[in-house]
Amino acid sequence: CHVGIYGLGYVGLPLALRFAEVGIKVTGFDIDPQKVQQLNAGQSYIKRITGNDITAALNNGFSATTDFSQSAQVDAQIICVPTPLDQHHQPDLSFVTNTVDSILPYFREGQILCLESTTWPGTTEELLQPRLEQQGFTPGKNCALVYSPEREDPGNPNYSTATIPKVLGGITPTCLKLGERLYQHAINTLVPVSNTRVAEMSKLLENIHRAVNIGLVNEMKIVADKMGINIHEVIQAAATKPFGFVPYTPGPGLGGHCIPIDPFYLTWKAKEFGINTRFIELAGEVNHQMPEWVVNKVAEALNQHKKAINGSRILVLGLAYKKNIDDTRESPAVEIMQQLQDKGAIIDYSDPYVPSFPNKRDYHFDLTSVELTEESIQSYDCVVLATDHDDFDYAQLQECSKIIVDTRNRISGKTAVRA
């Protein structure tokens, strides 16, 4: 069996390495020649995947290419490309459709086409199936078409590609069977479901469940703050309930390339059926306004020292969207920086994972991470802990004489302000 993996990012690359690890020949396809060149040279560009991992796969028949005509050689194609939002906050499936359109000229009878990218329920039937049928392919007859949502959690020490159960839906029962036969080489537990729509929707439920529960604890934090109640203690107390309660942690907002994005894939499709998913959309609004709420807490803290944001020097700790990673996509910390700057603050940041942050689409500061020392902190009027990397010296921050606005419940010093 020879598998083609399309999109060699944090989803496609681990999957390609896993198939290679079990002795399956894998060709990785990507439109980025630099990624392809690095992989074929045994170099990794994904955190927690080493060059040795790549070299082991190369020795096991893995290779990467930008030449989509090589699709003709593979028995199965697995699409793992991004499904972002466009500038109107609408689903952008162009990476998926471009990939399918690049594969189709070489698609042949008996091949399996599988989509893994997170998307709205119906995508496989409405966008992929007609493209196959236009070329004379009938899923379940002379080819197979399946959907299997990715559940990669890069760097999670407890779960690997092989050990995370994988949901799988087929356009027909035969498609499902062929999809199972493909994935069972590499994945320990498969979860077959009745069709591709169930599989597509299950992924959205997983991630929207997370987004709305984070929105819940963020809103509870706002209420608790006004009442002078420590929300973290409230959550710890509630979490002692041994059943029916899953603790989430309030924070400065909702970052990343999945959790803030995925709800829009459902709400957009629901509108097509005339359904207004108010609850999901309101949760999104609560999360979206958290950076502003944090900035107001900064203003309050400075005001108590007869200072204003305008003209103050403010250091933000942690620019990544969550701790111990380097990804700043949709990071609330970046939004906080921009809002502070818009209010006249002189801003800096310190993040060991993000050495520099150049001007981007909506963000107009071009900074490099500052070294965090006793002295460097003294030169600021206020410090904001936005992302609690384990690398920060919390004992030192605890003793810091400066105002520290803590959005991650990591500092309880006398100058700490809970936000």
Residue whose pair of structure tokens reads 């020795």 in the numeric block: 59
Q: Considering only residues 2, 47, 151, 343, which one is a binding residue for ligand SAJ as defined by CB under 6 A? A: 151
Interface with ligand SAJ, residue 336, by CB under 6 A = no
Residues 6+ apart with CB under 8 A from 247: 235, 236, 238, 239
Of 151-159, 174-182, 232-240, 410-418, which segment contacts ligand SAJ by CB under 6 A?
Answer: 151-159
What is the crossing angle of helices 33-40 and 51-59, to 10°? 80
User: What's the token pair of residue 17?
Assistant: 């390495």
Q: How far is CA 313 from the centre of its chain?
A: 31
What is the crossing angle of helices 290-303 and 332-342, to 10°? 50
Rg of the chain over Cα atoms, rounded to whole angstroms, equals: 24
Instruction: Give the bridge partners for 145, in sequence order.
Output: 113
Complex with ligand SAJ: residue 172 or 249, whichever CB lies closer: 249
Q: Dihedral of CA 95/98/100/106: which sign?
A: negative
Residue type, 56: A
What is the rounded CA–CA span in Å between residue 8 and residue 30?
6
Closest approach, Cβ 245 to ligand SAJ, in A, equals: 13
Q: Considering only residues 97, 138, 249, 277, which one is a binding residue for ligand SAJ as defined by CB under 6 A? A: 249
DSSP reduced 3-state for 168:
strand
Interface with ligand SAJ, residue 254, by CB under 6 A = yes
Interface with ligand SAJ, residue 251, by CB under 6 A = yes
Q: Considering only residues 8, 81, 208, 258, which one is a binding residue for ligand SAJ as defined by CB under 6 A? A: 258
Other C-beta atoms lying within 10 Å of the C-beta of residue 306? 6
Closest approach, Cβ 254 to ligand SAJ, in A, equals: 5
Interface with ligand SAJ, residue 219, by CB under 6 A = no
What is the rounded CA–CA span in Å between residue 323 and residue 9?
20
Closest approach, Cβ 184 to ligand SAJ, in A, equals: 20
Closest residue to ligand SAJ, based on beta-carbon distance: 256
Q: 400 catalytic, yes or no?
A: no
Q: Which of 114, 143, 258, 400 is catalytic?
A: 258
Interface with ligand SAJ, residue 343, by CB under 6 A = no
Closest approach, Cβ 232 to ligand SAJ, in A, equals: 11
Closest approach, Cβ 344 to ligand SAJ, in A, equals: 26
Q: Considering only residues 179, 256, 263, 291, which one is a binding residue for ligand SAJ as defined by CB under 6 A? A: 256
Dihedral Cα 228, 231, 234, 240, nearest 10 deg: -170
Residues 303-322 that bind ligand SAJ (CB under 6 A): 321-322
What is the set of active-site residues?
258
The footprint of ligand SAJ (CB under 6 A) covers: 150-153, 206-207, 210, 214, 248-249, 251, 254-256, 258-259, 321-322
